[in-house]
């Protein structure tokens, strides 16, 4: 998979492929359906499967105070799209020049002249160009004028227990509420954050449960609580009990993200690690003593091991 950030370097060999445009934040099951159809057209053309996305999200440029926290960082998004079979991800640097293009100018310059697409696949709520002036009807007209195939996909819904539409905004709401179990069902993968390991208060180590404290997290952090998940270190995953929030037992009010990595020894200070959230275990609680907290932590670890066995 090629990750391209400037279209003036778009390889001639990749022109004439099947294209989809969007933010693809989170890379969820709805996105996967679009990519599946995109691959169909690419195979038909004998050409590349191309995703054009924005870095950063356009709202971060137009109205940063309203910009949602992202669900994925660019390289993670590209990796997830590659797993779905995408050949090329264009992570276009979003600026005012790009956002000032009318829908007609955007289509001509980006889709026709620079990428040379011969087919497109989009969702029903697709808008493009300045002030979101273009929609699927506009796109259909432009594709027709240029002899391009176009397919507009129907929205993807959840399973029988949750028939609502799958979307990045819904997933963001679930993560914000701490319902990572429901979010995982809509994603093509566990929800993941990344950060740098920094020094904390070392309370976990003193209790017999050392933790890696994450800082500089650049994606949406789940709601306060204790979770079972995996911590990725150097490309390998380790099951972990993850604490997000303050530590009310010791009177602390600062929100922290800490991962107790099961069966792991070694220093991680200064390293970048990634953490997957598989299931929520409980809310943050205040305990009457250190011993009560230690007993609860043992229960959290036991439950994490049970979930780990279930996922083997």
Alpha carbons 229 and 307: distance in angstroms, whole number: 9
Question: Do residues 140 and 210 share a domain?
Answer: no
- Percent of residues, the chain, with pLDDT higher than 90: 85
| CATH number of the domain residue 213 falls in | 2.40.30.30
User: What's the pTM?
Assistant: 0.93
Question: Do residues 208 and 93 share a domain?
Answer: no
Question: Do residues 123 and 214 share a domain?
Answer: no
Name the residue range of residue 288's domain: 190-310
Instruction: Using the Cα atoms of residue 288, residue 292, residue 293 and residue 296 in order, give the sign of their dihedral.
Output: negative
Please indicate, yes or no, if residue 175 is contained in any of the structural domains. Answer: no
**Tens digits of per-residue pLDDT, 67-117?**
999 999 999 999 999 999 999 999 999 999 999 999 999 999 999 999 999
**For the chain, what is the domain count?**
2
Region 245-255: what's the mean pLDDT?
A: 79
Please indicate, yes or no, if residue 218 is contained in any of the structural domains. Answer: yes
**Tens digits of per-residue pLDDT, 117-137?**
999 999 999 999 999 999 999
Q: Are 306 and 226 in contact (CB under 8 A)?
A: no
Question: Do residues 122 and 254 share a domain?
Answer: no
């Amino acid at each position: 998979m090629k990750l391209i950030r400037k279209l003036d370097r778009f390889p001639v060999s990749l022109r004439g492929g099947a294209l989809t445009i969007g933010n693809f934040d989170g890379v969820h099951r709805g996105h996967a359906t679009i990519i599946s159809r995109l691959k169909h057209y690419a195979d038909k053309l004998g050409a590349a499967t191309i995703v054009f996305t924005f870095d950063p999200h356009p709202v971060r440029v137009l109205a940063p105070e309203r910009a949602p926290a992202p669900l994925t960082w660019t390289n993670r998004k590209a990796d997830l799209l590659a797993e779905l079979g995408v050949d090329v991800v264009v992570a276009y640097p979003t600026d005012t020049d790009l956002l000032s293009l009318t829908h007609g100018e955007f289509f001509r310059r980006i889709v026709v002249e620079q990428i040379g697409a011969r087919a497109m696949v989009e969702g029903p709520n697709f808008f493009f160009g300045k002030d979101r002036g273009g929609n699927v009807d506009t796109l259909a007209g432009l594709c027709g004028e240029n002899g391009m195939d176009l397919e507009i996909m129907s929205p993807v819904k959840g399973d029988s227990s949750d028939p609502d539409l799958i979307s990045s905004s819904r997933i963001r709401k679930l993560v914000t509420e701490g319902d990572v179990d429901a979010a995982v069902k809509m994603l093509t993968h566990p929800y993941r954050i990344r950060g740098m390991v920094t020094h904390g208060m070392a309370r976990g180590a003193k209790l017999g449960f050392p933790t890696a404290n994450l800082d500089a997290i650049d994606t949406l952090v789940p709601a306060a609580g204790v979770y079972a998940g995996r911590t990725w270190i150097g490309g390998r995953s380790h099951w972990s009990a993850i604490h997000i929030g303050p530590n009310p037992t010791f009177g602390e009010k600062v929100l922290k993200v800490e991962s107790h990595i099961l069966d792991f020894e070694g220093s991680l200070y200064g390293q970048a690690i990634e953490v997957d959230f598989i299931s929520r275990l409980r809310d943050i609680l205040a305990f009457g003593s250190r011993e009560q907290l230690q007993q609860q932590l043992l229960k959290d670890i036991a439950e994490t091991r049970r979930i780990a066995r279930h996922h083997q």
